[in-house]
Amino acid sequence: MAKDVMCEVNSCKYWANENKCKASSISIVSHHGSDQARNSEETDCKTFESKV
């Protein structure tokens, strides 16, 4: 399991200093609506929540 989850989206409420994610869990899904993706561009972080 990853020790640190990195995130550059500082508008997310889970973003922390040094580009770290402080969410207790992470959910990532495929654009295809299945469990298949060929690259990172075909995925989305569903954990994202806006700070605003």
10-47 as b/e: b if 16+ CB within 10 A: eebebbeeeeebebeeeeeeeeeeeeeeeeeeeeebeb
Domain ranges of the chain: 1-52
* CB-based contact 28:45 (threshold 8 Å): yes
**pLDDT tens digits along 6-52:** 999 999 999 999 999 999 999 999 988 778 899 999 999 999 999 98
State the pLDDT at residue 20: 97
Can you give the pTM of this predicted structure? 0.81
Assign 24 to helix, strand or coil.
Answer: coil
Q: Cβ–Cβ contacts within 10 Å for residue 48, how many?
A: 17
